[in-house]
Structure 1
Amino acid sequence: MDTAVNRDLFLEKLNALNEQTIVFIFLQKIFSEVVSAKIECNTPLDYRRLKRFDVLKINDKEKLIAPLKPGETNIQYYVTNEELYSILHETHTRIGHGGRIRMLKELQAKYKNITYEVVMLYLNLCKQCQMKYSAPKKGIVVKPMVSSELNSRCQVDLIDLQSNRDGEYKFIMVYQHHLTKFVRQRPLKTKRAEEVVHNVLSIFLTFGAPAILQSDNGREFSNQVISQICAMCKDVEIVHGKPRHSQTQGSVERANQNIQNMLTAWMNDNDRNKYM
């Protein structure tokens, strides 16, 4: 399966970033200068190199790193031009095609010379990310709901995955605690009332029933579903969001979108049609 970012295209555009490319291409020359300076430090260049760089031997291979200050344990490596693409690709895939903030946080914790510009170049070439960002935006939360106690309000919704089904499973039910934003997910074969109610009640048995259960006005929460839940949990108040108005469902809507994007990207990256 093709990768989300074409390696040759990425390196071609990287070379256009002249000031960035120098950092990666000349690392081998810098590495040699640092090794020599550690043996004999005489010139101003030697001192500058040792102030900024060090060499660490790992499994019989020497790597260029940032010098550690007293008490520091986190090693930051310098990435060469040959390593750059595979590191970006591995990191981006591992975090489920996360955005620039998470990508930079992951990379800069381990690597010294991967810059914002290089990360943005990679992300702008990622087909999966471009598909995600081109999707229609959901409504924005304009008046947040405030919860002060666990289980005071929970939200539930369904993600339609019929285009990426896993055998008989076509939907994912997302149940979120409003206060903690803790999310539970359950795969569903259908949107029939019996199956929805069974999974909602199994979560109630684990975490307790909420005082308020928020849902949208979709068919998956029809009168039959509501009546069954109310019959078994008489203290639960069912609250509907307004039709075609997602403000009251903002948190769970964002969770739905993130889950769907990450799951679809993972299935595509791994060439799989199963999420169970």
Structure 2
Amino acid sequence: MTEKFREYLWGQHCTVWTDNNPLSHLETAKLGATEHRWVAELSAFSYDIRYRPGQANTNADALSRQPPTAMTRMSTGSMLEGVAIPVAIHQDVRQEPQVTQSAVFAFSSYTVNVLKLLQEADPIIGAFLQFWKKQKAPSSSARDKPSGPVRVLLRQWDKITSKDGLIFRKVQRPDGGEEILQLLLPMCLKEEVLQQLHDDHGHQGIERTTELVRQRCHWPGMSDDIKQWCKDCTRCILAKTSQPKLSAPMGHLLASRPNQILAVDFSLLEPDRREHVLIMKDVFSKFTQAVPTRDQKAATVASALVLEWFLHFGVPARLHSDQGRSFENAVGGQLCNLYGVQKSRTTPYHPQGNGQCERFNRKMHDLLRSLPAERKRHWPEYLPQLVFCHNTTIHQSTSESPYYLMFGQEPQLPVDFLLGRIEEPELGQVTDWVRVHQRRLPRERLEAAALKRKDRHDRRTLCDPLAEGQLVYLKNCTMRGRTKIQDAWSPILHKVIQ
């Protein structure tokens, strides 16, 4: 009881009445190890234990007994003479649970006579009864004259039967078991049945709800009505996640020249007084800089952008980031206004919109993981060297190194001095034609690689494009507390403007 009602008993003084007399002497009794452990657990509560004889403890005594059902109740007149039966046995200790009745009987509040009248008054079943009362199957030409739903029932003439004045439909169970008698349901009861077997029955899926209804009743177009009911159910829309997960077609973030778009993001590493790394990546050349920082504050980001990129490689035309507070703030806005930089951002909770930086995060972790164990503790000292290795390696999408596309020439590596590959550039070697094709060829390769990724991604796309004016729900990405049982979608409807 203390575990069940802990929130109510905690900090409150309570009195425990029991018909167990030894329990009332719990504090003075000689106890064993197990009993001492029980007393220790109860010591956190303030309580008094008082004895009450069993005859006077009827409230708790009644709750500990199974109430008699209608099948086991016996009238006093049927008792044998001389047999004394307590009066409490003849009384209902508690009402029968209504949930059990509604789960077993689909029409608990309708009698046979009421259902018969509803069938006769129904426009579809009533029209069918005009043929049924003749007790003769209509001809094929007569079956085609009535409206669509009535025609559907007439074509199933051999499956229709009557019982107790009601019209049923006989079907075989899918597993080959006994036949099922489905009541031909009047249209006025359709919503009530769907309400009980879907909304009040745990919001089961379309197939399970259909099977629940199929075991009890039938009406023309039943499958389509159940499917539409489940699709329009607000609780199902808000509470259930999409299976499989929906995804939109892939978009591209492409640039035509170096320093046109600079993508930025943060990556978290194990703390060595500086656990944050600011990633800055040129979208066209894939040239990257990684700067360890102590925090992700707006001032820190602005300082790193100016000192580590703007002053070294020039001011980019556009800055692209997610919607984190590190980038979407007043300081960042003033920085962009001061240097004339356009600002773009990804959609909320969608890191794929900044895939350039997200992909390098994984690459950077792989590079740091390759360090010997004695160097990993001081990874900030080796990070610039590892980033330089990345920038001087051929990129898969462009087939060129990021360093070459950024500066127009290959870097001189230490191995080049060893191999004697040091060459002085000749005057006039780089012509205008070479400059044009130096930009055009990477652009074509980037577009080809992007189209290849898009084709591979869009094969798994399971989302229809949104249209202007369409009403949509937004995914609930800010859940707190018990996230596994929270609604997956926000209950507020939004309208697509553009």
TM-score category (smaller protein): 0.3 to 0.5
Q: Higher helix fraction: Structure 1 or Structure 2?
A: 1
Higher relative CO (CA 8 A, sep ≥ 6), structure 1 or 2?
1
Structure whose CA Rg is larger: 2
